[in-house]
Structure 1
Amino acid sequence: MTNGREDDALSWDGDDDPTLDVGASRDVGPDDVEPDTEPATAPELPEGFTAVGRGSETVDAAAAVDAASVSRPAIAERAPMGNGELVGVGVLGGVYALFAIGWIIGGLRLQGTAAFLVSPVGYQVSLWLAVLAPIVWFGTVFLLTARSKPWVRMVWLIAGAVLLLPWPFIMVGAIGR
Structure 2
Amino acid sequence: MSTDPDDALTWEGDDGTSPKEPALPAGWNAVGKGSDRVVEEGRESDAAASEDPTEADEAPAALGTGMLLTLGVVGGVYLLYTVGWVVGGLRLKPLANLIVADSMYVPWFVLAVAAPALWFLATWVLTRGRAAWIRVLVLLLGVVLLVPWPFVTVGVIGS
TM-score between the two structures when normalised by the length of structure 2: 0.63
Larger displacement relative to structure 2 (140-149 or 164-173): 140-149
**Aligned-pair Cα RMSD in Å:** 2.5
Q: How far did 1:91 drift?
A: 0.2
2:97 aligned residue: 115
Q: How far did 1:86 drift?
A: 0.7
Give aligned pairs, total: 114
Structure-2 separation of matches of 1:149 and 1:135: 21
Q: How far did 1:79 drift?
A: 2.2
Identity %: 42
- The Cα offsets for residues 77-118 of structure 1, whole Å up to 9 and x where unpaired, read as 642211111101100000001101100000001000011211
- The Cα offsets for residues 110-139 of structure 1, whole Å up to 9 and x where unpaired, read as 000011211111101100000001000001
Matches within 5 A, 1:9-88: 65=52, 68=54, 78-88=60-70
Q: How far did 1:144 drift?
A: 1.7
2:62 matches 1:92 = no
Q: How far did 1:146 drift?
A: 2.2
Structure 1 residue runs of 4 or more that deviate by more than 6 Å after TM superposition: none
Structure-1 separation of matches of 2:52 and 2:58: 17
Matching residue's letter, 1:137 = W
Higher helix share goes to which structure? 2
Whose radius of gyration is greater, 1 or 2? 1
- The Cα offsets for residues 45-83 of structure 1, whole Å up to 9 and x where unpaired, read as xxxxxxxx96x87xxx8xx847x59xxxx6686422111
2:151 aligned residue: 169
TM-score between the two structures when normalised by the length of structure 1: 0.57
Structure-2 separation of matches of 1:143 and 1:86: 16
